[in-house]
């Protein structure tokens, strides 16, 4: 688990290393990639359950 202190340290270090102007853009890009990854995992999960719902393999 990640604590709020660790998140704060990462944000402060990111602001220092990347720059204050670039940090929001980088955060937006990271959030977009996380969202796409979560969406892909959820789609794969739904496809798996749909495939096994009508299958004789899982009962």
Q: Tell me the CA distances in angstroms from 45 to 20, 21, 50, one per residue in order.
A: 38, 38, 9
pLDDT band at 54; cut points 50, 70, 90: confident
pLDDT value of position 58: 54
pTM across the whole model: 0.61
Six-digit token string for 38:
């979560």
Instruction: Report which listed range, 17-26, 38-47, 48-57, is most confident.
Output: 38-47
* Average predicted confidence (pLDDT) for the chain: 88
Handedness of CA 36, 31, 33, 25 (dihedral sign): positive
Measured CA to CA, the distance from residue 31 to residue 38 in angstroms comes to 10
């Amino acid at each position: 688990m990640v604590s709020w202190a660790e998140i704060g340290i990462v944000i402060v270090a990111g602001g220092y290393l990347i720059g204050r102007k670039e940090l929001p853009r980088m955060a937006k890009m990271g959030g977009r990639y996380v969202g796409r990854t979560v969406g892909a995992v959820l789609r794969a999960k739904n496809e798996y359950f749909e495939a096994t719902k009508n299958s004789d393999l899982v009962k």
